[in-house]
Amino acid sequence: MAQFNNRDGYCYLLGRLAHDDVITLWPSREQLISADTRCIDCSGLEYIDSAGIAMLTQLATKSLSKPLSFKSIPLQTKKLIDLYDLQAFFPEEAQ
């Protein structure tokens, strides 16, 4: 299951963010990202599926302070971003 570690304006994701993990994490989603977070760093993700991407897009759109950016999206995830036409949520990764 993914861990969300908030530090210095970044939220570092570690582990897996798959369907079963999303179901477990969903009730506490409001507390996963700190208020000062500007960027979600995905470099520590070992695996993410379409449910994980849906959760990340939900977190990005519900950010109250400002839009969140993403860093170090795994290659497998970039393919899903293209497949689901989500470049607007992940603009840095769509290039």
pLDDT per residue rounded down to tens, the chain (95 residues): 899 999 999 999 999 999 999 999 999 988 898 888 889 999 999 999 989 988 988 888 776 566 788 888 887 788 888 888 888 777 665 44
Task: Note the pLDDT of residue 92.
Answer: 62
Work out the number of other CB atoms within 10 angstroms of the CB of residue 28.
Answer: 9
Task: Note the pLDDT of residue 94.
Answer: 42
Structure tokens at 17: 């963010």
**For residue 54, what are the CA distances in angstroms to 11, 80, 86?**
17, 11, 10
Number of H helices, E strands in the chain: 4, 4
For the chain, domain boundaries: 3-93
Q: What's the number of CA atoms in the CB half-sphere (13 Å) around residue 7?
A: 6
Burial category of 49 from C-beta neighbours within 10 Å (exposed 0-12, middle 13-18, buried 19 and up): middle
- The CATH class for the domain spanning 3-93 reads alpha beta
